């Protein structure tokens, strides 16, 4: 069976550094930080009070006019995906339903909707607590009490629940990111939603790569989005003991991938969606090609689903498979984009997995890490990373990892820090690991040559 070659033709990002890949990439190169004191709610009684937040403006501006009403049932995660999707199709020059509706389709060739697929990673979407708590509060047994107010399930069933909008549930189903995106851009080909924490984006992009490779679609919009900027997610991460300490005095220094003084991660949000296309399809419409996806590998930790194994075995398996799939030997890899979330143990495990594959080459291969500026964007982090990596190859610049000042000898990676460096990479590897669940994934991007 003939395999189609798959190229990257569009990058869409909504990150704490801005909207669009250029804003985010330039921000990284200029060493800007998207992390600051959390503004979305009062975080003063939480153990961490800093975050990366995305400034979006109105999501209504990113959908066809007839679809504006539907933005009312979009959780923040969905909004991030929809915004990123606009930037991705715009960047790719794709004439989608949304682009036509906005009157921005002049000169663009038609896209066959039945050959346009989606594969979007999502997190465990948190209910909007302000909305849900308000409804739950109507079912309190003693609303006037200062404590021990008691929640009455009987009151809730009787009338409390009617305080929720009828479509309430649809705001939080993980597949709604893909559903809204496929509606807004009219993508009717295979559609999937991967929910594997921080590995979601890589797994979704990998699956989209396979979908096009086997000919089931010609174009796919793929990546992921998530927001951890809500009280529930912050409390969860805090309970898991993963958050950076002492961020209050200077939030911009809190997230320190692979640095000896790192103390944990910073919660964040973001969306990254890429346009993958069968090479012939992209060539036919004269698309700009950022690079070619040539390898995908996935593996899981059989040691534990929560605690990273210090030897990074699962990640090393994923990398080896991706390189074998690409038919590339480790010494031919010119750039590694690491997950680098900034907790002691995750960075050590990740670095071990990388070293295991690269051996002596580890000392020389440059490592690109973005979380110092972006924090942990959850299911969206991987696609933002992939977009940044594609851009690094395209622009010929590797942005430095903010706050990585002295690389932890226990990690032993050649992290690009302090200043941006020239990038002449022909082959780049990007990796991700789920912080809960043990899933890992790796993708290989090659400089495009027809």
Partner 1 sequence: MNRRTVITGMGWITPLGHDIESAWARLRKGDSGIAKTTIFDAGTFPTQFAAEVKGFDLKAFLGDDYETHKDVSRQAGFALAAAKMAWKDAGLDAAADLDKTRVGVYLGGGEGPIDFHNFTTAAVEGWNYEENHLDTKRWADVAYERLQRVMEAEQEPNMAAGHMARLFGVEGPNFNTLTACAASTQAIGEAMNLIRRGDADGMISGGCHSMIHPFGTTGFNRLTALSTRNDSPSTSSRPFDRTRDGFVLGEGAGMVILEELSHAKARGAKILGEIVGYGSTADAFRITDIHEDGRGGIAAMRTAMEDAGLRPEDIHYISAHGTSTVENDKIETLAIKGVFGEQAKNVPVSSIKSMLGHLIAAAGSCELITCVLAIRDGIIPPTMNYANPDPLCDLDYVPNEPRKADVKTCLSNSFGFGGQNNTLAVTAFRE
State which of positions 58-77 bind partner 1 (CB under 8 A).
70, 73
Applying CB under 8 A, the span of 362-370, 382-390, 392-400, 433-441 interacting with partner 1 comes to 433-441
b/e map of 316-354 (b: 16 or more CB within 10 Å)?
Answer: bbbbbbbbebbebebeebbbbbbbbbbbeebbbbbbbbb
Q: Using CB under 8 A, which residues numbered 313 to 342 contact partner 1?
A: 313-314, 317, 321
Q: Which is nearer to partner 1, 330 or 438 (CB)?
A: 438
Q: Using CB under 8 A, which residues numbered 76 to 95 contact partner 1?
A: none
Q: What residues form DSSP beta bridges with 428?
A: 335, 445
Q: Tell me which of 22, 71, 113, 283 binds partner 1, using CB under 8 A.
A: 113
CA 428 to each of CA 87, 165, 275, 294, 450: distance values in angstroms, whole numbers, following the listed order = 23, 46, 18, 10, 18
* Closest approach of partner 1 to the CB of residue 9, in Å: 20
Applying CB under 8 A, the span of 274-282, 287-295, 421-429, 431-439 interacting with partner 1 comes to 431-439
Q: Which is nearer to partner 1, 308 or 340 (CB)?
A: 308
203 lines the binding site for partner 1 (CB under 8 A): yes
Q: Are 341 and 199 in contact (CB under 8 A)?
A: no
Q: Count of CB atoms within 10 A of residue 419's CB?
A: 10
Q: Using CB under 8 A, which residues numbered 369 to 428 contact partner 1?
A: none
Q: Are 448 and 7 in contact (CB under 8 A)?
A: yes
Q: Count of CB atoms within 10 A of residue 306's CB?
A: 11
Q: Tell me which of 207, 226, 334, 385 binds partner 1, using CB under 8 A.
A: 207
* Closest approach of partner 1 to the CB of residue 293, in Å: 15
Give the integer Cα–Cα distance in Å for 222 and 89: 11
Q: Can you spell out the DSSP letters for 191-228?
A: EEEE--GGGHHHHHHHHHHHHHHTTS-SEEEEEEEEE-
First to last CA, the chain: 21
Q: Tell me which of 13, 51, 88, 176 binds partner 1, using CB under 8 A.
A: 176
* Closest approach of partner 1 to the CB of residue 97, in Å: 8
What mask, x for binding partner 1 by CB under 8 A, covers residues 10 to 29?
A: --------------------
Q: Are 240 and 264 in contact (CB under 8 A)?
A: no
189 lines the binding site for partner 1 (CB under 8 A): yes
161 lines the binding site for partner 1 (CB under 8 A): yes
45 lines the binding site for partner 1 (CB under 8 A): yes
Give the integer Cα–Cα distance in Å for 299 and 279: 27
Helices (H), 214-343: 231-239, 279-284, 313-326
Q: Are 351 and 365 in contact (CB under 8 A)?
A: no
What mask, x for binding partner 1 by CB under 8 A, covers residues 299 to 318?
A: xxxxxxxx------xx--x-
User: Residue 282: is it exposed, middle or buried by C-beta count within 10 angstroms (0-12/13-18/19+)?
Assistant: buried
Q: Tell me which of 87, 115, 180, 256 binds partner 1, using CB under 8 A.
A: 180
* Closest approach of partner 1 to the CB of residue 403, in Å: 27
Applying CB under 8 A, the span of 42-50, 84-92, 101-109, 336-344 interacting with partner 1 comes to 42-50
Give the integer Cα–Cα distance in Å for 393 and 446: 9
Q: Which is nearer to partner 1, 56 or 132 (CB)?
A: 132
Q: Are 444 and 412 in contact (CB under 8 A)?
A: no
Which H/E stretch holds residue 357?
helix 344-358
Q: Tell me which of 22, 56, 100, 175 binds partner 1, using CB under 8 A.
A: 175
Sort residue 65 into left (φ over 0), alpha (ψ -120 to 50) or beta: alpha
Q: Which is nearer to partner 1, 137 or 406 (CB)?
A: 137
182 lines the binding site for partner 1 (CB under 8 A): yes
Give the integer Cα–Cα distance in Å for 46 and 49: 6
* Closest approach of partner 1 to the CB of residue 272, in Å: 19
Q: Which is nearer to partner 1, 200 or 390 (CB)?
A: 200
Give the integer Cα–Cα distance in Å for 24 and 52: 13
* Closest approach of partner 1 to the CB of residue 195, in Å: 4
Q: Which is nearer to partner 1, 116 or 258 (CB)?
A: 116
Q: Tell me which of 109, 130, 310, 396 binds partner 1, using CB under 8 A.
A: 130
Q: Tell me which of 129, 283, 344, 421 binds partner 1, using CB under 8 A.
A: 129
Q: Which is nearer to partner 1, 105 or 170 (CB)?
A: 170
What mask, x for binding partner 1 by CB under 8 A, covers residues 225 to 264?
A: ------xx--xx-xxxx-----------------------
Task: Give the binding-site size for partner 1 (rule: CB under 8 A).
Answer: 102
User: What is the total residue count of the chain?
Assistant: 450
The two tokens of residue 136 are: 């739950």
Q: What residues form DSSP beta bridges with 272?
A: 13, 224
For Cα atoms 420, 426, 432, give the angle at the middle one, nearest 5 degrees. 70
């Amino acid at each position: 069976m003939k395999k189609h070659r798959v190229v990257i033709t569009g990058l869409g990002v909504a990150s704490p550094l801005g909207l669009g890949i250029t804003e985010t990439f330039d921000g990284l190169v200029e060493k800007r930080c998207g992390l600051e004191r959390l503004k979305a709610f009062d975080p003063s009684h939480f153990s961490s009070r800093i975050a990366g937040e995305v400034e979006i403006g109105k999501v209504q501006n990113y959908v066809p006019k007839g679809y504006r009403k539907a933005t009312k049932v979009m959780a923040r995660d969905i909004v991030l995906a929809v915004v990123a999707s606009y930037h991705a199709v715009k960047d790719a020059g794709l004439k989608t339903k949304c682009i036509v509706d906005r009157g921005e389709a002049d000169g663009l060739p038609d896209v066959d909707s039945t050959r346009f697929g989606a594969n979007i990673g999502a997190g465990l979407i948190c209910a909007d607590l302000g909305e849900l708590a308000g409804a739950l509060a109507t079912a309190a047994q003693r609303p006037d009490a200062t404590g021990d107010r008691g929640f009455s399930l009987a009151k809730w069933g009787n009338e409390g629940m009617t305080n929720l909008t009828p479509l309430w549930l649809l705001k939080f189903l993980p597949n709604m990111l893909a559903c809204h995106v496929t509606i807004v851009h009219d993508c009717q080909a295979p559609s999937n939603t991967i929910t594997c924490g921080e590995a979601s984006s890589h797994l979704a992009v990998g699956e989209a790569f396979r979908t096009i490779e086997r000919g089931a679609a010609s174009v796919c919009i793929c990546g992921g989005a998530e927001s951890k900027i809500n009280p529930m997610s912050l409390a969860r991460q805090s309970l898991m003991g993963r958050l950076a300490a002492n961020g209050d005095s200077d939030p911009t220094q809190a997230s320190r991938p692979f640095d000896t003084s790192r103390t944990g991660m910073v919660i964040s949000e973001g969306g990254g969606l890429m346009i993958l296309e069968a090479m012939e399809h992209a060539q036919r419409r004269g698309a700009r090609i950022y690079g070619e996806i040539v390898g995908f590998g996935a593996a899981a930790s059989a040691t534990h689903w929560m605690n990273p194994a210090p030897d990074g075995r699962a990640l090393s398996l994923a990398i080896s498979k991706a390189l074998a799939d690409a038919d590339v030997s480790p010494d031919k890899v010119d750039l590694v984009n690491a997950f680098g979330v900034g907790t002691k143990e995750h960075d050590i495990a990740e670095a071990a997995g990388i070293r295991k594959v690269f051996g002596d080459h580890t000392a020389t291969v440059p490592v690109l890490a973005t979380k110092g500026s972006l924090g942990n964007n959850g299911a969206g982090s991987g696609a933002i990373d992939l977009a940044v990596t594609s851009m690094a190859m395209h622009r010929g610049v590797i942005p430095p990892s903010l706050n990585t000042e002295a690389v932890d000898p226990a990690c032993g990676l050649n992290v690009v820090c302090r200043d941006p460096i020239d990038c002449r990479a022909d082959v780049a590897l990007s990796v991700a690991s789920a912080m809960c669940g043990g899933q890992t994934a790796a993708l290989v991007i090659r400089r495009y040559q027809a």
